[in-house]
Each structure stands twice: as structure tokens, then as C-alpha cells.
Amino acid sequence: MVIDQPFSAAGAQTPPPRSAVTEGRATRVALTVIALLFLAVFLVLPLVIVFLQAFANGVGAYFAALTEPDAVAAIQLTLLVAAIAVPLNLAFGVAAAWAVAKFEFKGKAFLTTLIDLPFSVSPVISGLVYVLLFGSQSLLGPWLAAHGVQILFAVPGIVLATIFVTFPFVARELIPLMEEQGTADEEAALSLGASGWQTFLRVTLPNVKWGLLYGVLLCNARAMGEFGAVSVVSGHIRGLTNTMPLQVEILYNEYNFAGAFAVASLLALLALVTLIIKTILEFRYGDALSGSTGH
């Protein structure tokens, strides 16, 4: 994945000698209007509707829906799952990206493909894998039951499914960045007597910090928003194993539309915040993100 360069800075200083487009004004306006309309209908409108519906019964009802015990439990569970899954994938993502980008070894291409696997697998399958692995009817099931370990239909299962689904985000973000930066900085550090660990902490990591933050943001957004895989392993116990997206579905199915959209509005807010931070990162640290310069 290559991150777009911000183009606003360059345009202002060097006025182009002639227009780069040959189309007439009308065509350009028409195309712009179509693009904007498209955005409005498919992105802005649904978002507006979510918030309108959420507040349909008033502000009081909105906050009542969010402080209702099952909703609070869903929010807490979602935060907990993200708090476990995201750091683990951060550690894994950095380790994997480091290994793939900075070293040559056998099976590297295979590892890269493996990292991408969760992107190409349907989330439902991602959930079912854990049912087949840890379910009562599975190979491990009886052993787990005998030792009183509950993985499926409890927090660990939800965490595992979330980790699987959000696996590639950090690594995918870092690998192209690290590859582009090459190993020159690391070689210099090593030649100056730094240990491998020092090199990693002081050279490699600072070089990719904005890309890393970006990957973590995406990973977090998906971890909190995942529906399919989590739905399969959750068991849908109210107030216990329902994450926010599952809670939205339940409330919707119970004709509690204001409640459903209130919880949905939190998820939409999360998406908006992610988007804003992402835009700021791209705007301010576009260079570092794309890896064209060092630190």
C-alpha cells in the first residue's frame, strides 16, 4: 500500500506554465459535481442519517440508550478487546515488517502472503476457524472443557477472532515503508557499534513512527468495528459477549432504532476521529509516511 503524497504544498509555489488538463470547463465542472454528489450520497448522507436517527427521540433518550447496562457492557467489551488485540498486533506487525523488510531469508514471500491472508478470507470463515478449533466438538474442545477454560463464546474467543481479522494492518503499513527506507541507516548504526536492539529502537522505529501510528489507527478502527468474525464466536449473550457492532444489530432487531443508532453513532464517531487523525498525519508527515526521506 502506498500512501498518497499531499499535493497542496507543491502547487502553490510553482505555477504551471499551462493547464495540465485539456478538457473544457463544463466537463471539469460536471465531473467534479458528479464526484461530490457521489460522496454526498454514499458517505455523507448515511453518516448524517445515523446521527439524525440517534437523536430522533431527543438528547435525553440518546444518553439513556448509551448508559443502559447492556450498552455500557458492550462498549467496555469493545474497548477491552481492542486494548488486547491492538498491542498484540502492534508487536507482531513491527516484528513481521522488520523481518520481511530488512532481512533476506527463505520463505519470505510465503510469510508475506500469510500476513495478507486475513484480508482475503471472509470474516465469517475467520470466526468459524476458531469454532472448529476450540468448540466442544473440536479436537481441543474436550480438553479445554475438562480444564475449565472457556475460549469460545467468551472474551478470549472474541479477542482471538479480532486479532486474526486485524492481523495485517500494522505489518502491511510498515513493510513498504521499511523496504523503501532500505538498510543504510541500520548499517551505519551497526558500524558505529550499536547493538541490534539499539539499532531497532533508535533507528528503525523512529524512522517508521508515523507509519506505525497510522497502521495502529486502522487496526484499532477495524478491531472495534468487526462484526462477522466476532458474531460467529460471541454467543450473543447480552451484557457479556456482545461487542458494540453486535449490540447495534440486537437493538435494531428489537425495534429499538434510537438505541441502535445511538450505539452506531459512537462507532461512526470513532471512524470520523480515525479519519481526521489520518488526514492530519498525511498532511503533516506525508514525507515520513511515504518513506521518501529519512527522519
Q: In the complex, which residues of this chain contact other proteins (CB under 8 A)?
A: 84, 88, 91, 94-95, 131, 134-137, 141, 145, 148-157, 159-160, 200, 235-240, 250, 252-255
| Complex with other proteins: residue 18 or 147, whichever CB lies closer | 147
- Residues 6 or more apart whose CB falls under 8 angstroms from that of 74 comprise 239, 242, 243, 244, 246, 247, 263
Say how far apart CA 159 and CA 246 lie, in whole Å: 14
Nearest distance from residue 240's CB to other proteins, in Å?
A: 6
Q: Which is nearer to other proteins, 154 or 271 (CB)?
A: 154
Q: Nine-digit cell at 47?
A: 453518516
Give how far Cα 67 sits from Cα of 60, 81, 100, 227, 244, Å: 11, 20, 45, 22, 13
Q: Closest distance between other proteins and the C-beta of residue 250, in Å?
A: 8
Let me know: does 114 contact 194? Beta carbons within 8 Å.
no
For residue 196, the minimal CB distance to other proteins (Å) is 9
Nearer to other proteins, 86 or 262 (CB): 86
Q: Which is nearer to other proteins, 83 or 276 (CB)?
A: 83
Nearer to other proteins, 66 or 128 (CB): 128
Q: Tell me how far, at minimum, the Cβ of 109 lies from other proteins, in Å.
A: 21
> Least separation, in Å, of the C-beta of 188 and other proteins?
21
Among residues 156 and 176, whose Cβ is nearest to other proteins?
A: 156
CB of 131 to other proteins, least distance (A): 5
C-alpha closest to that of 211 among 173, 182, 181: 173
CA distances, 293 to each of 12, 182, 207, 289 (Å): 22, 11, 9, 9
- 65, 248 Cβ separation under 8 angstroms: no
H/E stretch holding 264 reads: helix 257-290
